């Protein structure tokens, strides 16, 4: 793979020499594009290794998070109402 990259860079350098002033930019952009493509290929390989949870497990976990969030929200809302009531009595 290193030889293939060297060949690509070598070709772009030769083409860059013909272009002149923009030769360095064309080599850098090609190098960036090659790196980006390699990165995306590696991401695809790693994504295949992921063991995804079953649908039932995802739904149960989402339900638990939702119920817990509603419970905490109600608890904090109740505390807020109590403190608000107490402060309104003190401020009179």
Secondary structure (H, E, C), 64-75:
HHHHHHHHHHHH
Quick one: how far is CA 80 from the chain centroid? 36
The boundaries of the domain holding residue 76 are 51-92
For the chain, what is the domain count? 2
Q: Are residues 58 and 74 part of one domain?
A: yes
Both tokens of residue 43?
């991401």
Same domain, 35 and 69: no
Question: What tokens appear for 6 in the block?
Answer: 């060297």
Query: What confidence tens digit (pLDDT) does each residue in 20-49 have?
Result: 555 555 556 678 889 999 999 999 999 999
Residues 1 and 46 in one domain: yes
Please check whether residues 46 and 64 belong to one and the same domain: no
Q: Residue 69 has what pLDDT?
A: 98
> What are the distances in angstroms from CA 16 to CA 3, 49, 63?
19, 40, 58
On the question of pLDDT at 15 being above 50, the answer is: no
| pLDDT attached to residue 76 | 98
Chain segment 42-92, per-residue pLDDT in tens: 999 999 999 989 999 999 999 999 999 999 999 999 999 999 999 999 998
**The predicted structure's pLDDT at residue 28:** 60
Please report, to the nearest 10 degrees, the dihedral formed by the alpha carbons of residues 53, 54, 60, 62 taken in order: 50
Same domain, yes or no: 8 and 24: yes
Report the alpha-carbon angle 80-81-86, nearest 5: 100
What confidence score (pLDDT) does residue 31 get?
86
Global pTM exceeds 0.75: no
């Amino acid at each position: 793979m290193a030889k293939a990259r060297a060949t690509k860079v070598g070709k772009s350098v030769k083409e860059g020499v013909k272009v002149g002033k923009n030769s360095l930019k064309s080599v850098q952009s090609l190098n960036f594009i090659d790196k980006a493509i390699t990165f995306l290929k590696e991401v695809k390989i790693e994504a295949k290794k992921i063991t995804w949870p079953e649908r039932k497990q995802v739904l149960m976990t989402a339900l638990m998070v939702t119920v817990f969030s509603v419970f905490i929200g109600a608890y904090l809302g109740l505390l807020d109402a109590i403190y608000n009531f107490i402060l309104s009595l003190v401020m009179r």
